[in-house]
Amino acid sequence: MSEDRVRVTAQLIDALTGKHLWAERYDRELKEIFAVQDEITFKIFDELQVELSEVGDIRSCARGTDNIDAYLKFLQGFHFLSRETVEDNAISKTKFEEAVALDSDYSSAYAMLGYTYMFDVLLGSSKSPKQSFAKAFELIQKSLALEQSCPAPYVALANFNLNTNQHDKAIDASERGVAHNPNNSVAIHTLGKVLMFADRVDEGMVLLKRACRLNPKPPYYFLSHLGNSYMLKERYEDALVEMKKSISLVPTHVPTHLSMAACYSALGRIEEARAAVDTAHKLNPKFTLSHFSKTYGARYKNPARLEKVVNLLREARMK
């Protein structure tokens, strides 16, 4: 790996982070490409505040990539995907597309690209939800064809099945993911989330808590779904504690704002409920009550649970 190669990579980091990390210079004698890759990767994580354990869990497949540019595109895509906004999801999709263009055998990148098409539907930016879900499934199947010995593709498949109201298939995919790595926090979290929405809330909560224990700094969605499990158990104050932690990490996550609104409504704190709904609407005006019911509502196996959440949001004046 030449000095010019390292310089280009460091400049990519500058462009990604908006900081001048090249000033620290990576111009020492280079003996091992992966040692340099690790140093650069740690710097990216540090600057972007992406949790090492979370990304490590997602990309811990035997078939990774030895293309450092593809790897950097993957990291950029993951960073933007985690914001869960329409604009960031579009950027994320581009980054993952660039990653697989650089390495057509990059299983984890195909799985994450599949997520961006699912998010198109969830965020309300898809012109054809049916086509977006079909594309997501195609990409996840591509990921599985390349790699079947790690959790990442199964986690993606589980989320696809959950978002398309196929709970038994979602449980099966989640369990297969955990079987491949019983200590993978993302796989455990996914199984917990799926069980929660499949109306096995107590079982799901146990796993959601376990995932948070395995990751010393749980990502926002770990906390948000743990909060949801408390909400479904009508432990609204406990739910709000976890949801506020989640929002502190990713303030743009609309579903968490809406879950908070439902909790506030259940507690009779209507003004706070309305404020949470207003925040959600400002972040994404397409998040109407109808959109929520058709998209995120598809995750609920028990219609009565969804109806209760919808009624609480209606009390908070969500339209």
| Domain spans of the chain, in order of start | 219-319
| Per-residue model confidence (pLDDT) at position 223 | 98
Per-residue pLDDT of the chain (319 residues; tens, 9 = 90+): 444 444 545 545 544 444 444 434 444 444 454 455 555 555 555 444 444 445 545 545 545 788 889 988 998 898 899 889 999 999 999 999 999 999 999 999 999 999 999 999 999 999 999 999 999 999 999 999 998 888 889 999 999 999 999 999 999 999 999 998 899 999 999 999 999 999 999 999 999 999 999 998 899 999 999 999 999 999 999 999 999 999 999 999 999 999 999 999 999 999 999 999 999 999 999 999 999 999 999 999 999 999 999 999 999 999 8
What is the 3 state secondary structure string of the chain? CCHHHHHHHHHHHHHHHCCCHHHHCCCCCCCCHHHHHHHHHHHHHHHHCCCHHHHHHHCCCCCCCCCHHHHHHHHHHHHHHCCCCHHHHHHHHHHHHHHHHHCCCCHHHHHHHHHHHHHHHHCCCCCCHHHHHHHHHHHHHHHHHHCCCCHHHHHHHHHHHHHCCCHHHHHHHHHHHHHHCCCCHHHHHHHHHHHHHCCCHHHHHHHHHHHHHHCCCCCHHHHHHHHHHHHHCCCHHHHHHHHHHHHHHCCCCHHHHHHHHHHHHHCCCHHHHHHHHHHHHHHCCCCCHHHHHHCHHHHCCCHHHHHHHHHHHHHCCCC
| Per-residue model confidence (pLDDT) at position 24 | 45
Q: pTM score, two decimals?
A: 0.84
Find out if CATH 1.25.40.10 is the number for domain 219-319.
Answer: yes
| Per-residue model confidence (pLDDT) at position 306 | 97
